[in-house]
Structure 1
Amino acid sequence: MHSTKEQISDWFKSLQDHICTELEKADGKARFKEDAWQREAGGGGRTRVIEKGGVIEKGGVAFSAVHGKTPEKILQALKLPEADFYATGVSIVIHPENPRVPIIHMNVRYFEMSNGVWWFGGGIDLTPHQVDKADARYFHMALKEVCDRHDASYYARFKNWADDYFYLPHRKETRGIGGIFFDHLNEKEGKTKEALFAFVQGVGMLFPQVYTHFMRKNGALPYSPAQKDWQMLRRGRYVEFNLVWDKGTKFGLDTDGRTESILMSMPPTANWAYNHSPEINSAEAETLSLLKKGINWIE
């Protein structure tokens, strides 16, 4: 018996609850504030935002389940026949106060149409302000372990997909150290709907494990004014990706989604410096040299 869209949506709600609880414990100071909303064209969601915490400067954990007539722009982009849609999922972005804690993003989602078309999608990626190779290895090993439990081909395939997706062509650099990204996972994968849902659940449950690890490990480390300045510049790159290239942002806006919830991924502050170039042999210069596709972080 396949899970219904309502059952999948209910699980995503429980995932939002679990992640918020774990992040609050690790932060030790701030609490999430919930903003429940309704979409005029159908559906709604719960956007939860945490600010000015012990580790987290600003973060959002959003659940949504929206439905209705599929906008023509979406039908054309996905080459789909006209039909109603239902989309549900959880989306997360966390911006830490300490520049030695990385930015993290995760999205897990389910989409179906009234004509029987359905798929899962999602991803999780890490954007350190300064790349720590040991942290990168920990993160990618955790992703590989989850992927390997479901399909031995997933990690390499979805890592490459993330390298291509989380990329700023105008900067010729990746957004961070990547992670995994997947979309349109359906019966064409040769797997049941339940098997694909189980994989998505595994990715979702991994999020609090890996991020609270970084919060506890790096949240109290000392940092310099120069590192803070660099953090603001890297946040600027994050904004550039989300507003110029991110398909999720575009999908939300094209489906008349809630603007505040869509743009919760923006950092509280960011900076741009004209033609900025880090000092040769600096940690910042090393980070820039590592923002490229195809790096094997595990070896």
Structure 2
Amino acid sequence: MRKHVQTSHESSTDPEASEMTSPAFIPEGNRVSNIDRFSGFQDLYDRYRPEAPGKVIDILTGYLGAKPRLVVDLGCGTGLSTFAWKEHAGRIIGMEPNEDMRGLAEQKRQMKPDAGHISFQSGYSNETGLPSGCTDIITCSQSFHWMEPSSSLREAARILREGGIFAAYDCDWPPSLHAGIEQAYHGLIQQAEDVLDQHVEEQDQARKWNKNEHLKNIQKCGLFHFAKEIVFHNMESCTADRYAGLAISQGGIQSVLRLGLSDLDAAIHDFRQQVEAYFGLEEKQVMFSYRMRIGIK
């Protein structure tokens, strides 16, 4: 029998951001379950997930043709995609509705003496509270599939200046390494989704939009004069602990663990053992493959 899972949300206003007021409610098109999916495992997420690769900055700055005055990073999580712009933009705003994720991003910012031009604010992709035409670049790193696309793209187009760029980019999971380990990775993720289907009512589950439709949604909204998909790769050093951690940090697995269920314990243990047997004590170069969909206003 499925059990109803109670969820909660937070929407406080950053007192340092006078030009923005966070909504006192979750705007239509957003699910509490999408926000709460990432509650409580911000440290694990930040430890294992990749930072935004430099190629993101190179591509988007190239299309813009100048150093951006303002970059808005929607669904910024713990800031892994926000801090990448530190040396490459006049100002950066990371926007994240999850208090735990945003709180860790702010802790990291306070530890950086040269990050005064970076701020983190509560807000939603379809109701940012930012002024119209204020930003040069909007990024959604590993996040656009959690956002209602039509209303989010309308808001993006509203706050972008003419010639500004919207970019949603994701890396393929799992990173390329070894066929058997990748199959086990997919199996573990699918098992987590099956467990959630058994124990959580559909209306209480997070909703994920199809990443393969990002480009089509950008094109069909009619708000951007140019749109395309760009594919690139980034090599990173990886240990057994990190590769296994990438799997464990996935939202579906964390959702199962947060419910106090033991259904995945054996599968997680077996996956870790398989990864450790392959890596041993070595670091290996692992390929992260990215797909970026852009729209230029």
- Using the size of structure 2 for normalisation, the TM-score is 0.30
- Using the size of structure 1 for normalisation, the TM-score is 0.30
Structure with a larger share of its residues in strand: 1
Q: Choose between structure 1 and 2 for higher RCO, CA contacts under 8 A separated by at least 6 residues.
A: 2
Structure with a larger share of its residues in helix: 1
